[in-house]
Structure 1
Amino acid sequence: MAFEHILAERRGDVLVLTLNRPDRLNAAPPAMFDELRAAIDTLDGARAVLIGGAGRGFCSGADVAGGALGSDNPGEATFAALTGHYNRALLALADLPVPLVSAVRGPAAGIGCSLALAADFCVASDTAYFLQAFVNIGLVPDGGASWMLPRLIGRARATEMMMLGERVLADTALAWGMIHKVVADETLDATAFALAERLAAGPTVALGLMRRNLHAAFELSYADAMQREAEAQRDARGSGDSMEGGMAFLQKRKPQFRGV
């Protein structure tokens, strides 16, 4: 499938998606997020997804130059862009049955910050920064930021990011527990892909169940979380990967998981 705003490539078992507007630091029009959703609609056997950005930046935020804020009713147009495009793509990513990795260099701002942090593992280069700049233009964070950030870094730091609108550099993001790892800029792509490849070689049935349980955990009681775990364990135990893992353990060899 050909896209205008992203590149999509299968590299072995990893689906690599690249935001491809480098001249705009990958500022994202609504159509870019539609393309992300379309690209993951049929994984076609891919067992992990990696999202990165072309050029010097991951994503500098929403690009509404196409008219979302230039209409006669910018508030309603922005609402429609969020609910009809950006949010739908982020929800589709949250529902992925396979692991998701993001590779961030340069800015991950606004909706780009939400996209980067939607991954199970966010790998950042030493040039990366994360920014909720909405307050600087009289707007509020979106793309799930007000749900995501307090859960990642706590309410006080989330409030700082949102209400002060200052850059959070990669090393600070790591210290806060916002991201997985910081690496030298020249090694970012290889490091992030190696992680995605490692996840793709794992028991992806179980990994997909894990990510869904993690997403749900904050909304569940202790008892409900354990019930959900039991149901997921039932599904995982019936998988071919579980059988292979057990046999490999008994035979003292490395398991060969197939994602089934």
Structure 2
Amino acid sequence: MDGPVEGAAVLVERDGAVAVVTLNRPERRNALDGKTKAELRGALEDVAADAAVRAVLLTGAGGAFCAGQDLAEHAAALREDAAHAFDTVEQDYAPVVRLLATMDKPVVAGVNGTCVGAGLALALACDLRVFAEDAVLGTAFSAIGLTCDSGLSATLTRSVGEARARELVLLAEPFNAQQAVAWGISGRVVPRDEVGAAGRALAARLAAGPTAAYAESKRLIAAAWGRPLDATLAAEGQAQARLGLTADHAGAVEAFLAKRKPAFEGH
């Protein structure tokens, strides 16, 4: 991957087998305008397709992770053509969330500060999270007369349960990282200045692991909600059969028998 482009709203850095994707509008708390959404989608498409990338860290520059939609841009879109102001939900937000949730490699969110609205949805679309201990989180949507988008109605409900999700969405009150973890939004809570290092370390640990198995696990977990037991058992059996043919599995079994640490290559 090339180095950062001057004026880029999204930065991509390679750190070994980890791709660090950074929202880069710190002066706007990394709010998502059209340029940022387009660059984020492109960056995620690139790292998802790059076989040399085995794990991804998504984070924000400065003191925020992501403040959600850029409301100045949104207000202009409403004034210009309210009927099409929300085309961005399908055109931009949905593809980004789909990439985070379904790419065949683990994604870590390094939540280094403010994380609200679509920003919270991005964090929940990732597989694992590291929170700054002073991060402020919130759904925010109903505070401006809107409902959830970017998958938040599903990911938040699955994390905290329906009753808590209703409270967080309808009241739109901010909450902190400690509350998030206590309520079921899994994540590690660290001092703000340690989020970057902790996120990179977690992503590097995943990158060194059985990434083919991680990909199968992501698909199984995502599909588990509402799927009949027999269908789940069948899907698990098929996934295990595919993984049984990988060099990672064969090597790990031999390593276990030889009492040595396995080396995973992702195939």
TM-score range, shorter chain: over 0.9
Aligned mates of 1:126, 1:75 — CA distance in 2: 40
Q: What amino acid does structure 2 have at the position aligned with 1:73?
A: D
Contact kept? 1:15, 1:46, Cα under 8 Å: yes
Is structure 2 residue 28 aligned with structure 1 residue 21?
no
Matches within 5 A, 1:32-181: 32-43=36-47, 44=50, 45-66=52-73, 69-78=77-86, 80-181=87-188
User: Normalised by the size of structure 1, how large is the TM-score?
Assistant: 0.95
Report the CA distance shift for 1:75/1:175 in structure 2 as closer, same or farther (over 3 A).
farther
Contact kept? 2:101, 2:127, Cα under 8 Å: no
User: Normalised by the size of structure 2, how large is the TM-score?
Assistant: 0.93
Aligned mates of 1:75, 1:58 — CA distance in 2: 30
Aligned mates of 1:243, 1:88 — CA distance in 2: 35
- Structure 1 runs (4+) deviating above 6 angstroms are none
Alignment match of 1:183 (pick from 190, 197, 208): 190
Cα deviation for residue 126 of structure 1 reads 0.7
Cα deviation for residue 36 of structure 1 reads 2.2
Q: Which residue of 2 aligns with 1:248?
A: 255
Which blocks of at least 5 consecutive residues in structure 2 are unaligned? none
Alignment match of 1:6 (pick from 5, 10, 14): 10
Q: What amino acid does structure 1 have at the position aligned with 2:217?
A: M
Contact kept? 1:34, 1:86, Cα under 8 Å: no
Aligned mates of 2:38, 2:246 — CA distance in 1: 32
Contact kept? 2:44, 2:96, Cα under 8 Å: no
- SS for the counterpart of 1:116 is helix
Cα deviation for residue 174 of structure 1 reads 0.7
Cα deviation for residue 20 of structure 1 reads 0.3
Aligned mates of 1:241, 1:42 — CA distance in 2: 24
- SS for the counterpart of 2:64 is coil
| Percentage identity across paired residues of the two chains | 39
Question: How many pairs align?
Answer: 259
Aligned mates of 2:25, 2:140 — CA distance in 1: 20
